[in-house]
């Protein structure tokens, strides 16, 4: 059976682009850029491609929730390298079953995270992705994506507080100090956002566990995962590159001809 050996994975998010280079099934290197850092993003992809182009099963696969940036990047990569850029979810179906409302269009990042988490654990799990938005998604023990919850990320919450009030300042997100009480306006805002996110995640996972009848394994990912959940006893693993791993699993499954789960599972 064919296996994917060499891959450049590209994840274009709302504010950042995440690149990964896989070799022999392992993620060898990953980097983040702001989406508007277009030239260094393209240079990194071109440089990596020169390293792997002559190796077996070399491919470039992109996933995106930012359509304008992904179109721009895909066009530039094709112009520079004269190679196909495959789209996860379009050219390559994500290998995760789904039990969702028929009209639902789920973000590709959520599906890739689910596929990667189940491929890693082979058991019921929750993926907490903490970035521009926060998603808390449940995958059951059969590997079916059941959906979850979406909330604004920490920076969106802080920006909203500033934009929609007359007195609250514009501040950078950080962990609050160790005191129980926020004794300044900025610390009070950080306390509310930081612990609000942690409390929301705890409550939702408790609900998922009650509904499922067992407590799932919890994986956190996303740009703010380490800052928010590093010392949280609820989280079993923090996997910063989970979406890139999902791109790899998607490409590997497609190449091996084992795509048999890209269907909605009806009740």
pTM of the predicted protein model: 0.91
Classify domain 97-246 at the CATH superfamily level.
ATPase, nucleotide binding domain (3.30.420.40)
Spatial distance between the Cα atoms of 83 and 249, rounded to a whole number of angstroms:
21
Please state, in angstroms and rounded to a whole number, the distance separating the CA atoms of residues 241 and 44: 17
Q: What is the pLDDT of residues 229-262, one digit of tens each?
A: 998 999 999 999 999 999 999 999 987 764 343 3
What the block records as the tokens of 193 is 């956002």
- Strand-pairing partners, residue 127, are 137, 219
Active site residue 79: no
Give the residue among 204, 232, 246 at the shortest CA–CA distance from 64: 246
Tell me the H-state helices in the chain. 38-52, 67-81, 108-121, 154-163, 185-212, 225-229, 242-256
Residue of 24, 37, 79, 109 marked catalytic: 109
Q: Do 6-87 and 97-246 show the same overall fold?
A: yes
Distance CA 49, CA 24 (A): 15
Question: Domain extents for the chain?
Answer: 6-87, 97-246
- Write the pLDDT tens digit of every residue in 115-126: 999 999 999 999
Say if residue 149's pLDDT is above 70. yes
Residues 160 and 165: their CA atoms lie apart, in Å, by 8
The reported pLDDT for the residue numbered 5 is 75
SS3 content of the chain, % helix, strand, coil (to 5): 40, 25, 35
Task: Please state which of the four CATH numbers 3.30.420.40, 3.20.20.80, 3.50.50.60, 3.30.930.10 is assigned to the domain occupying 6-87.
Answer: 3.30.420.40
Residues 4-33 pLDDT 10s: 779 999 999 988 999 999 988 899 999 999
Predicted local confidence at residue 24, as pLDDT: 81
Nearest CA-CA partner of 154 in 107, 191, 205: 191
Whole-angstrom distance, CA of residue 92 vs CA of residue 63: 10
Residue 101: pLDDT above 80? yes
For 114-142, the DSSP string reads HHHHHHHHSS-EEEEEESSEEEEEEE-TT
């Amino acid at each position: 059976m064919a296996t994917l050996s060499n891959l450049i994975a590209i994840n274009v998010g709302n504010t950042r682009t995440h690149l990964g280079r896989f070799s022999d099934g392992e993620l060898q290197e990953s980097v983040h850029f702001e989406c508007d850092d277009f030239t260094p993003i393209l240079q990194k992809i071109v440089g990596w491609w020169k390293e792997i182009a002559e190796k077996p099963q070399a491919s470039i696969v992109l996933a995106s929730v930012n359509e304008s940036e992904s179109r721009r990047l895909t066009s530039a990569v094709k112009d520079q390298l004269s190679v196909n850029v495959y789209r996860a979810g379009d050219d390559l179906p994500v290998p995760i079953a789904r039990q969702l409302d028929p009209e639902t269009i789920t973000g590709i990042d959520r599906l890739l995270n689910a596929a990667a988490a189940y491929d890693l654990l082979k058991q019921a799990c929750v993926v907490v992705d903490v970035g521009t938005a926060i998603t808390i998604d449940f995958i059951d023990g059969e590997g079916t994506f059941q959906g979850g919850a979406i909330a604004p990320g920490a920076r969106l919450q802080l920006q909203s507080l500033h934009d929609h009030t007359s007195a609250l300042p514009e501040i950078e997100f950080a962990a609050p100090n160790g005191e129980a009480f926020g004794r300044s306006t900025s610390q009070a805002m950080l306390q509310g956002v930081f612990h609000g996110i942690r409390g929301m995640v705890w409550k939702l996972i408790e609900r998922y566990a009650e509904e499922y009848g067992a407590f799932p394994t919890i994986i956190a990912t996303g740009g703010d995962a380490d800052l928010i959940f590093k010392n949280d006893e609820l989280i079993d693993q923090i996997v910063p590159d989970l979406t890139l791993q999902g791109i790899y699993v998607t490409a590997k499954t497609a190449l091996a001809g084992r795509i048999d789960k890209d269907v909605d599972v009806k009740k």
